[in-house]
Structure 1
Amino acid sequence: MGNISAVTDAQFDEQVLKSDKPVLVDFWAEWCGPCRQVAPILDEINAEHGEKITFLKMNVDENPVTPSSYRVTGIPTINVYQGGEVVKSIVGAKPKAALLKELADFI
């Protein structure tokens, strides 16, 4: 799906929590229709703003530990991590303009 790299439970600490710049993690699953709707939008935002914020995606079916520890109960959930903490959480599929507005502090 798109050009955003996947992150696993095992890599999460290193790639997300210890990152020098903000990291957006898209929690998704193959069977999730709204996840498929938001994926191309995130690809576009990544192409436009990827130098300011790192984009990653995590399949919740293959990696149950991290979503559980961050209380991700509905997908798509998009969390932005900065300094090892969740600084923004966006739940549900949203149009590009709404996502850009939500992410304005980071891009």
Structure 2
Amino acid sequence: MSLLDHGTETITIYPAGPPRPDGTRGPAGEPVTMRCRVQPIASDSPGVEGYTTTTTYRILARELPAGPWDRVAWRGSDWTVTGQPEQYRGSRRTRHDTATIRRR
């Protein structure tokens, strides 16, 4: 039994459509709900009053149907996929995808 096949978290991915003339992106398709692993990467602690904390997480899944700027719903918050998800194509047992998400 692999940790990649039986994630402990449930996320919903909302694919982002092409850019509109005003710079926003609409939905590109139906949302996808899946089980995955979510790990913290970094948390910027506020150094001066008035700054907010920026936390980033890594999503790990056997196959991750996410792309840049997709919206992810996780634990009641909205997150954005930052950058292109990475695909690790090793052996059949170790292949997986990862994506970095940041709070919207």
Q: TM-score range by the shorter chain?
A: under 0.3
State the structure with more CA Rg. 2
Please state which structure has a larger fraction of its residues in strand: 2
TM-score (norm 1): 0.26
Please state which structure has a larger fraction of its residues in helix: 1
Structure ranking higher on relative contact order (CA contacts 8 Å, 6+ apart): 1
TM-score (norm 2): 0.26
